[in-house]
Chain A
Amino acid sequence: MGSASLIVLLIIAIAFAVVAVYIGRIFGTSSTNSVKGEPYECGIETKGETWVQFHIGYYLFALLFLVFDVEIVFLFPWATVIRELGVVALVEIFFFTLFLFLGLLYAYKKKALSWM
């Protein structure tokens, strides 16, 4: 039973992928013109080289954003049931934010927050 359903799932998955690729080729119309080769179908064309390097600061900011992102993911469910969980959960969430704050403090001391 388990084996059969797994094989059926495998066949359906492969068939779905194959059909999705070829259905466009069968039913779609194809045309070639000069616009099709351009990098964007809307907006203005870029000036200069498009392979520019981004400042490393962006990555640092993205990493720091993660600190607050994780914080809100855990704080929000806690906040919805704050009454039921009581004081213990309050203390625990305090420790949790303390550790996240330590992460922020470390980033600050390593000068990750200063631009350039």
Chain B
Amino acid sequence: MYAIITISIVAIIVLFFGAFGKKKMILPVIFVGLPLAFIVNLMGWNQSIHYFNEMYIDDNFTIAFNGLLLFIALLIFVFAPVYYKSVKRPLEDIYALILFSLVGGLMMTAFGNLVMLFLGIETLSLSLYLLAGSKKSDPRSNEAAMKYFLTGSFASGFLLFGIALLYGACGSFNLEDIKLYVIQNQANIPAMFSIGLLLMAVGLAFKVGAAPFHFWIPDVYEGSPTLITTYMATVGKVAAFAAFFRLINSSFGDVDFLWKTSLIVFAVATILIGNFAALYQDSVKRMMAYSGVAHAGYMLIAIIALKGNAAGVLLLYSVSYSIATITAFAVLMMVRKETGSFSIKSFNGLAKHNPTVAFAMTIAMLSLAGIPPLIGFSAKYQLFVSAIEQGQLPLVIIAIVGSMVSVYYYLRPVVAMYFTRSIESTPFEAAKLYKKQILFVALLLIILSFIPGLIINLI
């Protein structure tokens, strides 16, 4: 709760520093404000406080995911000054919008009431629509914003209709009341209730980017400025999954026959479409977008295998996915700055003149593919184990097949970096700017690989 207040105040301060012309103060305020919010967030650990008539629940699940979201946002702000180095126009609106959307994300992990869920999703999405179009002179960025806005508001309509139908069936927005209703009426669930639940699942599947509602992801991720894409692919996805998990876990655990089949279909379609479409991409940015789709499929398995320690598994998977994605996108930002293109060819021979950056990219790709010593492997392993314990063996087999396919496209940039010779052999100018930050996140990824048990047992 207090993290939300802190972030809101920091965002307003950032806006006003920009408006009053004190541009040098903006980033220091953010770098003080985000760690402060992180600490304030941790203070409610093990207390499980409920605010505003159960509207906002500050339990350990909330605190763990909010801590992750704040940490990811901080990592992204580490790259903001170098990414926007050559941009002359004032940036306080972009930074403030990122912080405002973060507030939406923090609400989504903590809702105890469907109205709060909708409010959080809209706060996150509305800021992201604007951020997707924040490179005003680039037509692709404008196109991405328009597509994201149209499809996103359509999905919000589905979600809202689902909420309305659920309210019609249960007479309450409160998750606890809905759970009570489910327990009492388990035998004869009305059609209104199941249709409402299905519509909500469709709305949320759109927000997390699960097939068959993934069609917006490649275009929007490719058109948006890379820093914003990183933010969308990490904070947006993690927050949406936390919301999805909390919704299913706290109210609909007892009626899994209503949603399990459709979620399994979503997961299988997402894993197959994401991985196979990523094979055919020549642009690394678009490939990463499809990789995001595929990972959404794996994360859906954590929701399907609800019983057991699914929350911990989801947290571990979110950590591994987010940090590896940030590393990969950071390398991509650097390569794009130097070569002006996102294509796999621009990675040619990178290992020769920038070994550090190539190493970071390799670590990120191997972790995303799930190669053993790294955190991506432990995350996938725990996920599959918990799914098999719930009797979802066919689903896990499909996921493993998808995972094996993914090794091919994740290794393509690695092969280009190490085994293809480039035309030019001078070190990248941009590497000087990005090197330290990229090395930092890559090392973070390696350190996290040693402590998956710590993360998974957190909640």
Contacts and interface: CB of A to CB of B under 8 A. Distances in A.
Contacts of B12: 102
Interface in A44-95: none
B391 interface: no
A83 B16 CA distance: 36
Interface string A85-110: 00000000000000000100110011
- Interface magnitude class on chain B: 10 to 19
Interface class of chain B by DSSP: helix
A1 B19 contact: no
Given A2-B191, A2-B192, A3-B191, A106 B169 contact: no
A110 B16 CA distance: 10
Interface in B20-77: 20
A106, A109, A110: which has the most chain B beta carbons within 10 Å? A106
Nearest to B93: A110
Interface class of chain A by DSSP: helix
Given A6-B195, A102-B12, A106-B15, A1 B20 contact: no
- Interface magnitude class on chain A: under 10
B22 to A, nearest CB: 12
A100 to B, nearest CB: 12
Contacts of A106: 15-16, 19
A46 B12 CA distance: 46
Contacts of A6: 191-192, 195
A2 B181 CA distance: 15
Contacts of A109: 16, 19-20
B427 interface: no
Contacts, number: 22
B157 interface: no
B327 to A, nearest CB: 35
A41 to B, nearest CB: 33
B139 interface: no
Contacts of A102: 12, 16
B190 interface: yes
A96 to B, nearest CB: 13
B16, B19, B169, B195: which has the most chain A beta carbons within 10 Å? B19
A1 B190 CA distance: 8
Interface string B177-209: 000000000000011110100000000000000
Nearest to A110: B19
A4 B4 CA distance: 45
A106 B20 CA distance: 9
A3 B169 CA distance: 12
B186 to A, nearest CB: 15
Interface string A1-40: 1110010000000000000000000000000000000000
A3 B20 CA distance: 59
Contacts of A2: 169, 190-193
B112 to A, nearest CB: 21
B190 A3 contact: yes
B132 to A, nearest CB: 20
A116 B419 CA distance: 58
Contacts of B190: 1-3
A106 B90 CA distance: 14
Nearest to A107: B19
22 contacts: A1-B190, A2-B169, A2-B190, A2-B191, A2-B192, A2-B193, A3-B190, A3-B191, A6-B191, A6-B192, A6-B195, A102-B12, A102-B16, A105-B16, A105-B19, A106-B15, A106-B16, A106-B19, A109-B16, A109-B19, A109-B20, A110-B19
Interface of B: 12, 15-16, 19-20, 169, 190-193, 195
Question: Which 8 pairs between the two chains have the least Cβ-Cβ distance?
Answer: A2-B190, A109-B19, A3-B191, A2-B191, A2-B192, A6-B191, A106-B19, A106-B15
